[in-house]
Amino acid sequence: MMLGGLFGGSLISSQNMYDPAASQRLVLERNANYVLRVRAGPDMAHLETVDVNYEHVPLKIDSEDFTGYITVRVFGFNGLMADPCHPPPLQSVYFANGFSRRALYSIQVVGRFKGHGLTADNIMFGNYFDRSLPLPPFSGLFEWFMRRMDRTLVLDMKSDTPSAVSPLLATVQKLSYWDGSLHGSETSNLPQINNKILRELHPIDGAFDSEGRVAEYFPIKDSLNKDSKKRRRYFEKSSHRQRWKVKSSDMYAFDFYSPFIDVNHQCVRMPNAVVEPMPFFDGDLPLRYECRTRNGRHTFFIVQFELIPASRARPLQSAQQDNRPRRQYRDSGYEREILDPPPPYTEEA
């Protein structure tokens, strides 16, 4: 759910709320003035630009709290890539068919949490902001509604650093788990990432589908569960979350996506076909997802959607091109410096 469902459309003035043409004009103005960039990293000081929709090159996170890989997919993405000579794919196969075809963006993470004493109750995931937000009238009603939709949602929207978060294992749409120390069985349904990463992950059969998307593969009460709704209902109870221990050898793969938030066009697409400018997302306020402990002392990873003014996009790309030889590029399991532009994306790559 997060903020896209919570305040979708609620910040639009009464004039625009009932004027689809005015809302459409505002969306078009945003699209003309801004370019989307996605960055991720272990903390705010170490964010890197993500190659969106490039299935074979996830971003690696390796910190004292978390080690893993992040893949970000955005439907119709036409924003900034890590390298200006590396154009974004026209589309990701992720959106073509299957359970996620209604998604407008996806954050897929595979890795392990390395802290001690962790449980499913103190690993939180959601939206965090660095400054107070101009809440609309009747926002309390929306908060009540969203708490009914997500019983684990923790809202703190009136503070100087607002947040809307839930326990990770209770909120992500797809979740797979396996013991990394046991090494997964051989399988033909491997995620579409390079061989070097596969040797690190040792995924078990059933953790991913043939397109590299996370499948629901999670044990509940000593039995295998493949129903995400059942798993989310199970972790609604704090006692169940507290009993689930997260060990450093455990591997988790999860997919969080939204059918309503269109980050590529900076708007919210409601089920009734209403398209409205997205609240709390502009050139000064990025949309940030963080996974951290409940007390905020440890951050596992961050994924941040940013709007870069179009007037700055070309100078940014020029600066990236000047620094290109220092960037590492992973290809077929090996790391090398980019001295030549990488090949264009193809499905066969």
Q: Which of the two residues, 62 and 343, has the higher pLDDT score?
A: 62
| Residue 103: predicted pLDDT | 86
- Residue 8: which residues within 8 A CB-CB, separation 6 or more? 260, 261, 268, 270, 276, 278, 279
Cβ 154 vs Cβ 165: under 8 Å:
yes
Q: Percentage of the chain with pLDDT > 70?
A: 64
Token reading at 148: 């009914």
| Residue 291: predicted pLDDT | 98
- CA nearest to 202, candidates 248, 253, 154: 253
3-state SS class at 169: helix
* pLDDT of 268 above 70: yes
Which pLDDT band holds residue 140 (cuts at 50, 70, 90)? low
| Residue 10: predicted pLDDT | 40
Q: Which of 44-53, 80-89, 206-215, 335-344 is modeled with the greatest confidence?
A: 44-53
| Residue 344: predicted pLDDT | 37
Mean pLDDT of 205-209: 78
* pLDDT of 143 above 50: yes
- Residue 343: which residues within 8 A CB-CB, separation 6 or more? 349
To the question of pTM greater than 0.85 for the whole model, the response is no
Mean pLDDT of 22-29: 64
Mean pLDDT of the chain: 76
Instruction: Quote the CA–CA distance of 221 and 236 in Å, as a whole number.
Output: 15
* pLDDT of 289 above 90: yes
| Residue 132: predicted pLDDT | 80
Cβ 306 vs Cβ 286: under 8 Å:
yes
| 225 exposure class (CB count in 10 Å sphere: 0-12, 13-18, 19+) | middle
| Residue 148: predicted pLDDT | 64
The number of C-alpha atoms within 13 Å of 66 and in the hemisphere containing its C-beta is 25
Strands 250-258 and 261-262: unpaired
Which pLDDT band holds residue 235 (cuts at 50, 70, 90)? very high
